[in-house]
A = this chain, B = another copy of it.
Amino acid sequence: MEANTTNNSRPIIPGIFALNMEDTNWVMTSSFVIFTMQTGFGMLESGCVSVKNEVNIMMKNVVDVALGGLTYWIFGFAMSFGRSPLNNPFTAMGDFMVDPEVTDPLMGPISAAFLFQLSFATTATTIVSGAMAERRERNCWVWGEHGFLNKLGVVDIAGSGPVHLIGGFSSLVSAAMLGPRLGRYSNGLDPLPPGTPVNAVMGLFVLWWGWLGFNSGSTYGVSGAKWEYAARAAVMTMMASFGGGCMGLIYSMWRLGGRLDIMDLINGILGSLVAITAGCFLYRAWESLLIGAVGSAIACFTMPMFDRLGIDDPVGASSVHGMAAIWGVVAVGLFADNPYPLDTTKGRSGLFKGGGWYMLGVQSLSVLCLASWATVTNFIILYLINKVVPIRMDAYEELLGADLVEHYIRHGNAGISRVVSAVRPFPNEAQIDQITIMGQNSGHETYINQTYYGGMREILGPTKVAVDGKTGIGTIGALQTISRDLAPKFAWVD
């Protein structure tokens, strides 16, 4: 069934709702794939940070989807793609809390369109979570039919600009305003080691395959010739990642004398994916390889540069999403084919394809507008918020880690006990003292104490028993006596 747009009485019917059955299936399948990128971002980010913050990062991403999604439903979609006579080149003003009735002839397409844009919006939200408000609503400049950049002919198929550039610049401003983590540069500029590198690489993998849905889905359907360009988008996405991977590999081995730093490779590949996103089906294979390699190099080289400036961006979002996206948006102006019969470039081509300087100019203008917008609004918002509530955690909270402070999850072997010892007293020390170390089962410990060691529980907390049993040593007289008795039973360590 073709969406019957003629029966629709609303003032404006944007192309965003021109989806038939095949298009809708493609857009929905792509959305399902794009949502999996949340799993990827979660694992990548939580794998990159210190172990004592890894759960907090995951929870942040869960909350991003829930709150970010709700906000997008209420405001975001309406201000990007809403149908209203009030739409103007800077914002749309209709379809707040979009909710088509079953009798709406556009119910299906509106639902699919919202789902697809929602999957993009939650991705953008996750890239930088500190500053949500301004980040999603300016994509209407680029993608809304009324948007002033759109009217100038800007081309940004899957959002190097609206998603990654804005996300990356928001990250940059936030990182600069928050200041580096405590002790970040005390041992030099080298990045702190990732807490759970396997999870970080797993996150890269999930993002990589999710990106195929992101870019391929951005043909926004398969009808007409769109399916051919969807296939091209997927191929060029992979080609760019090959270029990015090779560049990341070369950069890391050059920098470290043959050794491979996992963050160089991860961020190199992500940088190449960000770079190809803007023009994913407008390039040929060699060009994609090159665009990916350059995006990767930009991500790799700007990371230590920001560190030298004292801007500490733990997951490298400023470089990977911000800097590589500049190149991604500009590259469209250089390399874009005219994807006949699609109207993506409005018939124009890039500079190297004989299209002259126009596209390059518009693309550069888009970079300028989006980067300025992200920088200025983020600065203002964070500045104002900081006046009300300090945006930076207290030092003792940062040292204890957000997992312990915000979720009462206490990791073992992560140096937390040492921090507890060092920073005392702090406000919630009494509660912290009671928290079982993750992985141990406090119920079982108590059961063993009560069942096998009778009254000992009053004297020894569970972990103390284990420690003393392990070493046969105690610093307090009473403990020493008990642990000497226990010693033969506590012969193993694990």
Contacts and interface: CB of A to CB of B under 8 A. Distances in A.
Contacts of A43: 198, 202
Contact of A192 (B46, B66, B442): B442
A444 B52 CA distance: 11
A194 B440 CA distance: 9
Contacts of A442: 183, 187, 192-193
A269 B64 CA distance: 13
Interface string A389-410: 0000000001100010011111
Contact of A227 (B24, B99, B196): B24
B209 A62 contact: no
A416 B448 CA distance: 11
Majority secondary structure, A binding face: helix
Contacts of A239: 73
A184 interface: yes
Interface string A163-194: 00000000000000000011111110000111
A369 interface: no
Given A408-B259, A448-B422, A108 B59 contact: no
A401 to B, nearest CB: 8
Interface residues of A, number: 167
A395 to B, nearest CB: 8
Interface stretch (A34-42, A84-92, A133-141, A321-329): A34-42
A25 interface: yes
Contact of A245 (B50, B65, B448): B65
A205 B61 CA distance: 10
Interface in A241-279: 241-246, 249, 259-262, 265-266, 269
Interface stretch (A147-155, A360-368, A378-386, A486-494): A486-494
A467 interface: yes
Given A28-B230, A62-B269, A260-B407, 9 more contacts: A1-B227, A1-B228, A25-B222, A55-B198, A62-B265, A196-B438, A261-B408, A414-B439, A423-B448
